[in-house]
Amino acid sequence: MNGLLEKIENEILRAKKFKFETKKIDIQRDKLAYMIDHTLLSPDATSAQISKLCDEAVKYGFYSVCVNPFRVPEAFDNLKGSKVKIASVVSFPFGAVPTKIKTEETKWVIEHGADEVDMVINIGMLKDSEYDEVYDDVKSVVESARGKTVKVIIETALLNFEEKVAACVISKESGAHFVKTSTGYSKGGAVAEDVALMRFVVGEKMGVKASGGIHSYDDALRMISAGANRIGASKSVEIIGGARNEFPGSKNI
């Protein structure tokens, strides 16, 4: 992409002036629930566990369930008639496959009922500063998703400051809808400072999803106060159970 390197370099200079500040917030339980992608990506997850995941998403009002690709049709059947969306992962958890594989996987999950795609960026290519190639990789997934929401997992735990900024710029320029902190399968998960930096770089019109190691209401609040507008979590029920206000219709969460 013409001018991509210049945009990245300029954004790195701008981001170096960024200062992280903590903010105190509170959020109603139903609103928090609607910000959560209720997630089960374990390779040993069973059909019964997927069914339970979907039932919980409907019961508590989570925004979506996030499942591995081959579980998408099953989730689609489980969630028929509900408002819960289906997210699936592409090139998970490493991002280290050819672009064509990512695009075919994207097409498959969309065709079988996914509303959103969480793709893993090619981390090695990013660290080699092959920015145009990373852009093409993300752009190809965005185009293959045909208007469906695409979140780009940048795996912040593996990136330095400049690489985090570059990944955000590339994701934004590619037309992706979200940047996302982590797969949850690397050496670290979501960190509030990273979330805030991502929000600073992508601005207010793009989404920021915090995922990886978010286990409690306080964890979720910390990420939201830093700038996240979506949370990915497997401990979703525990997270909303820590909220102060009662969930509508449920007295014993």
**Annotated active-site positions, please?**
118, 180, 209
Label the pairing between strands 149-153 and 116-120: parallel
**Residue 237 CA: distances (Å) to CA of 29, 55, 61, 117:** 11, 12, 10, 23
E-assigned strands of the chain?
36-40, 64-67, 85-90, 116-120, 149-153, 178-180, 207-211, 230-233
Under 8 Å between Cβ of 202 and 172: yes
How far apart (Å, rounded) are the C-alpha atoms in residues 157 and 166?
14
Instruction: Count the neighbouring beta carbons within 10 Å of the beta carbon of residue 245.
Output: 12
In degrees to the nearest 10, what's the CA dihedral of 190, 192, 196, 199?
30
The tally of CA atoms less than 13 A away on the side-chain side of residue 120 is 24
